[in-house]
Chains A and B, each alone.
Chain A
């Protein structure tokens, strides 16, 4: 364990010295885990890929401020989660703006604009859910969760982080993490059952 710590300290020293080879090793070592978290939290591969690069750029910029209070992996996860939450907020805002624009356009459009479109042409949600795998349904339900709930759920149940690590990444006390995780699981389970029920109908 001590040898591992020494090894990590040496590695961090190389990173702080902006050793490019050390950063290459770091990216190769963590890219899969970081990508998995981002993919689950953002729900889009292209976004997750771009964000993963951004996470390591942030690590590159801030590594000299890393004091070693936590494990390097936990610190990287914290950067990933924070960037991700900012991105989710930005995407939500953009989606809301796009929705406003769409509604404004609909108000301006004459009623006849929709003529020729049959009700059956519009994909019904239950039809859309049909044929989806449970995994896809779960991903959709994760996306419906609030970022704070999504964060603890992904870190614990996808990445298997310990409660101690979860507290370090989120900056929350143990009790809050546990209750938030409990609520996140309950909400996810409920949402999945609702969607699967719709599918069954």
Chain B
């Protein structure tokens, strides 16, 4: 049966109403619910709770993590830098040149 015959069988109006009249129902966010169900049923083996389960991890998480890491590095540097003290002076005066006489 061709598409035209099918339209004939049901009628264009009815077919259009059946398809939703061109107005799609707003789809729900199935992903979050799916992840939650899998997490619960797998005992946390899959989709472990955390920012990685989100489809769009919040940008703040990355920003805060980066700033925290910088702060930690800064603190470590500030603690370790005074311990290193002044650089030890190195004696680098050149030795007098000794001329070796050539044998005759």
Contacts and interface: CB of A to CB of B under 8 A. Distances in A.
Interface string A41-56: 0000100011011101
Interface stretch (B12-20, B71-79, B96-104): B12-20
Given A35-B28, A60-B34, A138-B14, 19 more contacts: A23-B34, A27-B30, A32-B24, A32-B27, A49-B28, A49-B33, A52-B28, A53-B30, A53-B34, A57-B37, A57-B38, A60-B38, A60-B46, A135-B17, A138-B18, A153-B18, A157-B15, A157-B19, A158-B18
Interface stretch (A3-11, A87-95, A115-123, A184-192): A184-192
20 contacts: A18-B46, A24-B31, A27-B31, A28-B31, A28-B55, A32-B24, A34-B30, A39-B25, A49-B30, A50-B33, A54-B37, A57-B37, A135-B17, A135-B20, A138-B14, A142-B18, A178-B1, A185-B10, A189-B10, A192-B14
B9 interface: yes
Contacts of A133: 17, 21
Contacts of A32: 24, 27
Interface residues of B, number: 29
A117 to B, nearest CB: 35
Nearest to A57: B37
A31 interface: yes
Binding site secondary structure of chain A? helix
Contacts of B28: 31, 35, 45, 49, 52
- State the 6 A-B residue pairs at the shortest beta-carbon distance, nearest first: A53-B33, A31-B30, A32-B27, A138-B17, A56-B34, A49-B28
Nearest to B21: A135
A15 to B, nearest CB: 12
Interface of B: 1, 6, 9-11, 13-15, 17-21, 24-25, 27-28, 30-31, 33-35, 37-38, 41, 46-47, 53, 55
Nearest to A52: B30
Contacts, number: 86
A27 B17 CA distance: 27
Interface size class on chain A is: 35 or more
B34 A157 contact: no
A72 B56 CA distance: 26
B93 to A, nearest CB: 65
A137 to B, nearest CB: 8
A134 interface: yes
Contacts of A189: 10-11, 14
Nearest to B19: A158
Contacts of A199: none
B17 A134 contact: yes
Given A24-B55, A138-B17, A188-B10, A36 B25 contact: yes
Given A157-B10, A178-B1, A56 B30 contact: yes
